[in-house]
Structure 1
Amino acid sequence: MEIIAYGVLTDERPLLEFAFAKEFGDRHTLRCLELFLTPDTLPTAAGREVVLTGANDQLDADVLRALAAGGTRLVAQRSTGHNNIDLDAARAAGLTVARVSHYSPHSVAEFAWALALAVNRGVVRAANRSREFDFRLDGLLGRDLHGCVAGIFGTGKIGAAFAHIAHGFGMRLLGCDVQENPACRDLGMTYVDADRLFAESDLVSLHAPLLPATHHVVDGAALALMRDDAILVNTSRGGLVDTDALVATLRAGRLAGVGLDVYEEEAGLFSFDRSQEVMTDDTLARLTTFHNVVVTSHQAYFTRQAVGAVGLAARAVEPSSRLRRARAPAWPGPTPAPPG
């Protein structure tokens, strides 16, 4: 059978094709499209029993009903997040939905650290200056992170990987989660409530899922607890942070730096080229004006190892599969180079 994948990036395509061929051989074929699944692109899915989707695809009730009417039986999401899928509507339409339970935690944890270091040492600002042959150090004063406190909100696989790196920097560790991670305890992490984590941390990194209980967990009250010279990093879900409250905090001259790889209104923006358009999102536009803020477009997962593992979501397409088979473990070693 031919399976169609939507929203496939140029660098992602060979890795998906390699993982797909490795899993299925010639039993199924994969057709990769750069376009996203929307009501306008629905005709491309007609007659496909299986579609592979991503976080930017539109999978509301109308689209899901149309997919089912066109013969689709399975929607396999190439990400852990599935906020864009109306699960109740999928169930009502008789569709099975699968997702990737996890992929390389190191990809996200390492990128979170890239953001933390970039804002701490003004790397982006310095690089931009260098392009203009301005080599002054004014405004680039950072600080040693050794001996500082890293507060990790969410200590699952990614949070634990972030904690390991923080431990290597010689930082003290605070954690907040509904369930303690023994691996983090072994690193010397002290588990505290959210208020204490925000108040005592020099660096706060978010690694929690977006749930009703975690929506806007970093709100005005939480930001007020944070130190004026603290750093905030979010590589998890945009909705964890109240962006309006964050802008107000930055306008007040508080926080040493903010690194955001996600944004609560990123749908329709991230993964698209909007450079020739007027930016109508005033909040995002304001965020990008702060010299101590670095915004990237949801790329923390984007490594060869992680994308290759995400490709294993294709396992769910076999008729004998169950939802659990969508789990995508990391490659046992370096990601093999795509053929050719």
Structure 2
Amino acid sequence: MKIAFFSTKPYDREFFEKENEKYGFELHFFETHLGPHIVNAIENEDAVCVFVNDKLNRNVIEILAKKGVKYIALRCAGFNNVDLQAAKDFNIQVCRVPAYSPEAVAEHAMAMLLTLNRKTHKAYNRVREQNFALNGLLGFNLYQKKIGVVGTGKIGKAFVKIALGFGAEVIAYDIYPDETLINLGVKYVALETLFMESDIISLHCPLTADNHYLINKESIDKMKYGVTIINTSRGNLINTNDAIQALKTKKIGLLGIDVYEQEEKLFFKDLSATIIDDDTIQLLLSFPNVLVTAHQAFFTKEALEQISQRTLKSIDDLIKKGTTDPEVLL
């Protein structure tokens, strides 16, 4: 069994090679992302393992099928980058990792919120320069603030529990309300109501055709003046240009993003010696009330262990049984 891994870094190799001691698959690692530019390099592979910025459109999937690839394994929860209908048409089974340490992403979302609010990143730099003044570092209590959570799946649920621990009032939107959260005091409301009432909005929903640019000028106009928005889900949930305009007018008071709609050109790369021609990200980084991390929310030891375990188990199940756990299959 040969598996080609794309968009890999040293840490991917470390965790997958360790987990593969149980299976003995032949693993090939590529640092480049999978897309039309590299698909023809695949030879004699039974499966490909891909990440969030790999592009598996119909053309790529057709070539994979012609080359004998039988399985596409996503080592992430989101699958908006895969043409699932094409995979079915070419008889390629697709699996994913629907939940890998949801606490990792939830904790990072809260870390971004706390950093932006209490300005610990700015305080760190100030103190290192022997500047101990507090001017410009004013924050606000999370206690009794109204936090709106969009999406209460495993990650959203973990974030809700953290927010409740701070004494915040949590309202939520999800097409499938969670009874355990309702019992904890969470109130499910219409999305428009969530936009209107929330002091803080945290996005924890998958990207679909229906919620592309969920945060746009129209939805931002409904929000409170000075609203805080945190996004650790998918970049295309936010219309970046609309968010920038709202930052300029101070309608958005704080913005924390671990994802970005053009991130495949930037994230997971060291571009410190490069001139970046993406004017939008450069403008975002110029705002003192914006915090950007590079798709880091998932990045914990526990999450990487669970990703490697779930991915290789799914492939092994598909080979031996032709199926695997229902929540994993797409």
Q: Using structure 1 for the length normalisation, give the TM-score.
A: 0.89
Measure, in 1, the Cα distance between the counterparts of 2:251 and 2:123: 21
Structure 1 residues 240-297: Cα deviation after superposition (integer angstroms, max 9, x where no partner): 1121111000011233311100112212221122333332222211111110110111
Which residue identity lines up with residue 313 of structure 1 in the other structure? T
Q: Which amino acid is 1:76 matched to?
A: A
Equivalent position amino acid for 2:28 in 1: R
What is the alpha-carbon distance in structure 1 between the residues aligned to residue 13 and residue 83 of structure 2? Answer: 26
Q: Does 1:207 align with 2:189?
A: no
* 1:316 alignment counterpart: 314
In 1: Cα distance, 2:62 partner to 2:130 partner = 56
The residue matched to 2:10 in structure 1 has which SS? coil
- CA contact 2:46–2:70 (8 Å) conserved in 1: yes
Residue 181 of structure 1, CA deviation: 0.5
When residues 321 and 298 of structure 1 are mapped into structure 2, their CA distance, relative to the original with a 3 A threshold, is farther
Which amino acid is 1:272 matched to? K
Structure 2 residues without counterparts, runs of 5 or longer: none
More moved, 234-243 vs 119-128: 119-128
Q: Secondary structure at the match of 1:15?
A: helix
Say if 2:230 is the partner of 1:233. Answer: yes
Whether 1:252 aligns to 2:249 is yes
Cα drift, residue 45 of structure 1: 2.1
The amino acid across from 1:273 in the alignment is D
Aligned counterpart for 1:282 among listed residues 279, 282, 288:
279
Question: 1:306 aligned to 2:318?
Answer: no
Q: Distance in 1 between matches of 2:138 and 2:321?
A: 54
Instruction: Specify which of 144, 152, 155 is matched with residue 152 of structure 2.
Output: 155
Cα pair distance change 1:175/1:46, threshold 3 Å: same
Q: Structure 2: how far apart are the matches of 1:133 and 1:254?
A: 33
SS in structure 2 opposite 1:14? helix
Give structure 1 stretches of 5+ with no counterpart: 329-340
Match of 1:13 in 2: 13
Q: Percent identity over the alignment?
A: 36
RMSD, aligned CA: 1.9
Cα offset, 1:131, TM superposition? 4.1
Equivalent residues in 2 for 1:1-340, closer than 5 Å? 1-22=1-22, 24=23, 26=24, 28-311=25-308, 312-318=310-316, 319-325=319-325
| Counterpart residue type for residue 247 of structure 2 | L
Q: Which amino acid aligns with 2:278?
A: D
1:64: Cα distance to partner? Answer: 1.9
User: How many Å separate the matches in 1 of 2:209 and 2:157?
Assistant: 23
Separation (CA, whole Å) in 1 of partners of 2:321 and 2:257:
36
Q: Is contact 1:49-1:74 (8 Å) kept?
A: yes
